Amino acid sequence: MAKFKIAVIGLGLIGGSMAYALRGFRKAEIVGCDRNARVREAALKEKAVSVVYEDAAEAVKNADLVIFCTYPESVPALVEHCKNSWKPGAVITEVCGVKTGLAKSICAILPENIDYVGGHPMAGKEVDGFENASPELFWMTGFIITPVARSRAESIHLIYEMAHYIGATRITVASPQEHDAVIAYTSDLMHAAAAGLCLDYHPGMNRAYTAGAFRDCTRIADINPELWTELFLANAEHTAAEIDRLVHSLCRIRQAVAERDEEKLKAIFTTVRNNKKKMQMCEPKADMLEEYLKKRDKYEKS
């Protein structure tokens, strides 16, 4: 029986960590691809992959699972570039933070005998690059599986199995559209808020004034400008709506402060505290994958 083969395309922070974390998964051979020669050399030296390629079309040959870990805009072009190299029955996924437009572009290119299931590991660092990759990056994190109409049940199960293997403990399933709507709040808005806090700042500030609150709120402001510009614009409608919601909330707080309205401010902070507790209790259902597949099967049969 042929050995299961995984190709990781793009060996930055996420791709490198994915290659490390997948060691031993289905006893697979893990190969990598990256345009940067120094990254390719490091990935081999650190044994993140067994073989590394510069050309994605070479990397995906005979691969059963292909994971694209590059910027969203580059994925469709890479899929197109690999069109003559796919193994029949292969499953491809990607780890991008935006799904709707990307999923449509990928599905328009892929042949019928190649399956696609989107995936989004909810993990990262404020630094990037293969040198910061770690097999523990995905431990105790969330993972969102975003199937499309053509995704086979066994392919969705494969991505679920992969997510569980790399250490994700909060796994859920959503359509690409649902993913983009929620992620605009939990990720895009958080980066916008951190960026807003650092876009301008008090001239008297120095590190003696900082503590945990400052570090927590501004950690992700050490942002990748190219990637996050791409993500914000690809999810512009949802992100703009969430920024509007935040601005409205800040205006309510500002008004209460400006008017020195103690009761209004206490009421706002009570709501904030209660909402935070509610959000912390919103765990994904344990049987969400089977529930999703049953609903989809029922819809297709009807």
- Average pLDDT over every residue of 68-93: 97
pTM of the model as a whole? 0.92
CATH class of 180-258: mainly alpha
pLDDT at res. 290: 87
Residue 82 near residue 92 (C-beta atoms within 8 A): no
Residue 191 has pLDDT above 80, yes or no: yes
pLDDT at res. 140: 96
pLDDT at res. 287: 84
Residue 302 has pLDDT above 50, yes or no: no
Q: Provide the percentage of residues in the chain whose pLDDT is more than 90.
A: 90
Q: Which residues of the chain are in CATH 3.40.50.720 domains?
A: 5-174
- Average pLDDT over every residue of 158-176: 96
Residue 104 has pLDDT above 50, yes or no: yes
pLDDT-derived band at 296, boundaries 50, 70, 90 = confident
Q: Provide the percentage of residues in the chain whose pLDDT is more than 70.
A: 97
- Average pLDDT over every residue of 100-116: 96
Burial class (CB in 10 A: 0-12, 13-18, 19+), 84: exposed
Backbone φ and ψ of 171, nearest 5°: -115, 130
The hierarchical CATH code for the domain 5-174 is 3.40.50.720
Q: Which residues of the chain are in CATH 1.10.3660.10 domains?
A: 180-258
Residue 135 near residue 21 (C-beta atoms within 8 A): yes
